[in-house]
Structures are given as C-alpha cells and as structure tokens.
Amino acid sequence: MRFTSSWKKIMLLLAATMALAVGVAACGSSDDDSGDSGSGTAGGTQDATLVLDFVPGAVHSGIYEAVQKGYYEDNGINLKIIEPTSTADTLKLIDAGKAEFGIADGIDLATQISDGREAQGIMAIAQRPPGGLITLKDSDITDPKQLEGQTVGVTGVPSDNAILNTIMKDSGGNPDDADVVTIGFNGVQALESGKVAAFTGFIPADGVQVEADGYPTKSFALDEYGGPSYPGLVVFSTESKIGDDPDLMQGFVDATIKGYQDALADPAEAIDALISQTQGIDKKLATESFKAWTPLLGPSDTFGQFNKKNLESLSTFMVDNDLAKEPISPDRYATTDFTQPKE
C-alpha cells in the first residue's frame, strides 16, 4: 500500500532530492560502495546492507538505536543503511543481490510475492497497518460515509483505492459516490490547501505532519474500518538469502528487536540516536510521530513477531480487492524462524 508521504512520507520534499545510494555507514562500515554486499571484514564481522522503505523517520528509530549501541556489531554484522528513491527501488535492490535486507509496506511485500518475486518477510516492524483516511478536525466529516460527494485524494497506488473502498463500505458509504483524484504523494499539501476533503496516508506520519503544520486532524484507520490488521512495515530478504545465511538473518533480527525494545522503553534516547545519524529530522515532529507509531509496533516482548491469522486476513484482502490473483499462505509471506520464542 505505501501511502507514501511518510516513512515514505514525513519528508516528501526531501525525498525528491535524495540519491538512491545515500548511505549511512554503521558500526565502522566502509564508505566504498563498489564491493558486493555481504562480504566479510578483517574484524570477523560480516558486511550487510539494509535498504529503508523511504527516507529515515521516527519509525526507524529502533534501527538507529541498535546501530548507535553496537547491537549489530555484537551480532557480527557491519551494517550499512541506505535510502531508496522509491519503494520499487528497495525491492529491486534486494532482488538484484545488492542488499541483504529491505523494509517494505506489508501490502507492497504481498504484491511482490504475488508477482512471483522471491521476497519473504523475516520480522515485522509495525504489527498493525498505519494507513487510513485523514481529514481535518474542523470539517463536517465525522464518519467515512460522509465522504460521499467529497473529493478524496489517493496516490495512484492500486492499494489506495482498496483502502478507501474498504473504509467507506464498512461505514455504510458508497465509494463510487466519492470524487477520487490522484494527487501523488502530496496528500498533506492537498488537504491543507483545501484541494481535497481527505486523503489516504500513513496516519502516524502524514497525520502528525498535518497536525504539526497547525491543522488538527481526524483519521479513520484501515484496521478499525473493516480492513485487516496486517503487519504495516516488514523487514524482508529473499528466500535464497534466508536459506543460505540463517545466522545473518538471526543476528539482524536479534539486534533490531533489541534496538526497538530500547526505543519503546526510552523514546527520547532513540530519537536522539536517529537525529545524530541522519539529516533533516525535526526533533519535535519525530517525537510526536514515534508516539503515534508506538501502538502499532506491538508490545515490547512480542516486537517483530508475525500473527498467522492477520496474514491470512491480508491474503483475503489482497484477493478480494484484485491486488493478488491467488491467496498467499502465511508461511510463504514470512518465516517465523527468527522471531518466535524458541522452545
């Protein structure tokens, strides 16, 4: 789904100027990008690359916390973090063997699997979807049904329409009666300027951005209006990489979980870690955004885990909305080898 203006989103204008390989070297990794990903180092650690889903944002704080505290290095990983120019680039880089790990929206990952790609999830960053409809609090819209006859903005990504349709139908509305316009990833600006009455977006990112701009919002979350409670953001690799190097996968997952557990325990420290390793992050905005993301990340003691029933619900949602031709089994979507409690 990638309601982009968030993670894909909070920094839209910044993203437009970003080069594909803007890298943040972590744990002493080299600045030379010419070598193959996954090579070893003299210190006994293994080089690995993580491609974000978008420019760094609050929801990535746990990763940067883990970098700063040396958790990846402790697990034998010399991690480099790079930013893509689009979600498609993240998926392409993993497919091409240029990186070991990527982050993707849960629906985007399902779409790639449905299209025959080798991608497979290894851990969930957000256990619930961040997407939904965002409108202004001072509007007359108190229920999604009231979007009938109103202009609603979508990015143009097919899943946006599925989200809009699901939310409106669940509230008793007819999405065919809404004036749906494609606005790209400019939902925040379109809502604030009055071009649209509502737009599809990431509530913890886009919604927080609108609030920070001085416009109180009202939001209708997908999983509260008939949609599946699928993992909103997933770390993925390929089936072959997972099979070839399970120790690398386990080390990455363990370090990342530890970083997010620390972030959930002390958000201010995690935001400082994010800001110290990136550029262009507004501390107040990031703090509010992480606060909004927190309920979606799941309890600290189950962070990263997949829920089989939720993955089945996502598969049904994909097929019902013509986003996938065939159901995707939970085991194909994600492996639980690295996140579930060991017997």
High-pLDDT (> 90) share of the chain, %: 81
Measure the CA–CA gap between 257 and 260, rounded to whole angstroms.
5
Query: Please, what is the Cα angle at 294 between 313 and 204, to 5 degrees?
Result: 80
DSSP class per residue in 134-158 = EEETTSS-SSGGGGTTSEEEE-S-H
166 or 6, greater pLDDT: 166
Q: For residue 7, what pLDDT band results from cuts at 50, 70 and 90?
A: very low
The full set of domain ranges for the chain reads 12-129+230-333, 131-224
pLDDT tens figures, 286-308? 999 999 999 999 898 999 999 99
pLDDT tens figures, 213-266? 999 999 999 999 999 999 999 999 999 999 999 999 999 999 999 999 999 999
CATH number of the 12-129+230-333 domain: 3.40.190.10
pLDDT of amino acid 38:
60
pLDDT of amino acid 16:
37
Does position 41 have pLDDT exceeding 50, yes or no?
A: yes
pLDDT of amino acid 292:
98
Measure the CA–CA gap between 89 and 95, rounded to whole angstroms.
10
pTM of the model: 0.87
Contacts 24+ apart (CB under 8 A), 186-193: 186/5, 186/12, 186/153, 187/3, 187/5, 187/134, 187/153, 187/155, 188/5, 188/12, 188/213, 190/153, 191/134, 191/135, 191/136, 191/153, 191/215
User: Terminal CA-to-CA distance of the chain, rounded, Å?
Assistant: 35
pLDDT tens figures, 87-134? 778 988 998 899 999 999 999 999 999 999 999 999 999 999 999 999
Does position 24 have pLDDT exceeding 70, yes or no?
A: no
Q: For residue 154, what pLDDT band results from cuts at 50, 70 and 90?
A: very high
Domains 12-129+230-333 and 131-224 share a fold: yes
pLDDT of amino acid 95:
87
327 or 86, greater pLDDT: 327
Does position 181 have pLDDT exceeding 90, yes or no?
A: yes
CATH architecture of 131-224: 3-Layer(aba) Sandwich (3.40)
pLDDT of amino acid 19:
36
pLDDT of amino acid 43:
60
Q: Which of 12-21, 78-87, 130-139 has the lowest mean pLDDT?
A: 12-21
